[in-house]
Chain A
């Protein structure tokens, strides 16, 4: 008899989700789906508010990555003002974004995924958390906590507070950097680099212990999307978009954010509040693509900083290029963290970093603006339309987790097919299905712009839809 497995809620992710696995009459996995079960609707309730409130308002979408929304929203507002922001304003925004990448990736790698990696996918679920890691490998937990702390402290030093800072404003940032603050930030960098080198040295070998997960965690050909700097290096703040194929061929290049409706589509699925984005020329669902750390590394020749480049070379030697398996998201995050610190050092040592000209002032000059940046989880897009008085008339947000939705669903099915066989499954097998979702580090608060709990549910159902078993974790 066919069955359905429900994982509800999915744990150690940012938001509330469940996974349904349907078994066919032969006991094999017939289908598997990730459902996002929370809703909030920021796009609607921002209507009729003044556009200049958007950075602060949209930052409330998420407590983990408010900085990412601040930046994309700030850039959409820059476009409405019709200004080019001062070079040092852009430089300071870049540093803020890199600090955000650092702290958010630290959360994903150390707090959420390292329990699986260090303790094992089959380890007792009551030990698979940061406390379990602290007990088994306190030095890893210390480094993870320190790295997140560094990212958060940089955000606080630059922007006044670590959550929901109001420093990014339409036209730039509200205050320049002082020498004292620059030196405070620079003083933390060696600590961060040392912690990352220790982690990379340890994790490089650790990743090799997961051949089945590497083979089955959303490991398939797809397109990859992200910003580029035009010189083949990583770019997180600005620049045109690039799309590459599974063999590394550039499919589309120098795409402008404002033209996104020409090449990106979104569909609503009946069983999820998360929209699925796709590459329009290939249609839905063939236009499946991935964003985020894995995609960004697939788009570039180099990271653009020496230590991160060295690590990228090692990863490519080990896993090939382009990286198709989503298990490599973890290592890609560590490499991006290293790059973020190296890049922040470069930017903070720039001769003009204390330049007081950091903001352009103007009245609204355009009735529409699109802002785009790379959030930790991938490309983030804010699109606003305003009336002549600058009041919001319409908004559309495309969030990294929405870009990755088709890939996450395909990945969940791939892992379920691999680990759930003949209708038989263990807790460890279901944890692996969750771990596929975790590898993408989805932020469901962001992607549905919704509030919610963090848990995961998994359901097992038969072909008639009857619920046979539910697993639920808080």
Chain B
């Protein structure tokens, strides 16, 4: 295995809350599409300070998350810049996590947040059919970001 920095994919949300697990599912789908060792993939409930050092080791960071403030099935992507802070240590936003990583001494690195609109987030360990299709789209979009990054 090479020591060269690799992209880091973080799929997060609650997989016991139906479509809130879309980030996890998209990360799983993306990992299956990538060649072994092409990226590091993490699935977690929330973004916590313990992830900050991992960001520092990555060439690019892609966050995958479910969104309840956009139309079900709609997938979006936006760059993330390091900013903000929080007294809350159990849950950080991607921008806060990036900032913490830089405060701990890591160089700034490109990062993107890919979000998919959720249909429902009720108790349940399966995605809705809309959620499953959205997760597939999220994985596609994330893969395109990885391709762009490696060609750029």
Contact = CB atoms under 8 A, between A and B. Distances in A.
Interface of A: 11-12, 63, 107, 111-112, 128-132, 134-135, 138, 141-142, 145-146, 148-149, 152, 163, 454, 473-474
Contact of A112 (B50, B85, B89): B89
A148 B53 CA distance: 12
Contact of A141 (B88, B96, B99, B103): B103
Interface size class of B (residues with CB under 8 A): 10 to 19
Given A129-B86, A163-B45, 8 more contacts: A12-B89, A131-B86, A141-B103, A142-B105, A149-B50, A152-B50, A454-B88, A474-B87
B49 interface: yes
15 contacts: A12-B89, A107-B89, A111-B89, A112-B89, A129-B85, A131-B85, A134-B104, A138-B104, A141-B100, A142-B104, A145-B52, A149-B50, A149-B53, A152-B50, A473-B87
A131 B104 contact: no
Given A12-B87, A138-B104, A131 B99 contact: yes
Interface in B54-112: 85-90, 96, 99-100, 103-105
The SS class assigned to the A binding surface is: helix
Contacts of A111: 49, 89
Interface of B: 45, 49-50, 52-53, 85-90, 96, 99-100, 103-105
* The 7 residue pairs across chains A and B that have the minimum distance between CB atoms: A131-B85, A134-B103, A129-B87, A111-B89, A149-B50, A142-B104, A145-B49
B50 A130 contact: no
Contacts of A107: 89
B139 to A, nearest CB: 23
A156 B93 CA distance: 23
Contact of A145 (B45, B53, B88): B53
Given A63-B90, A112-B89, A454-B88, A131 B103 contact: yes
Nearest to B103: A134
A25 B99 CA distance: 49
Contacts of A11: 87
Contacts of B52: 145
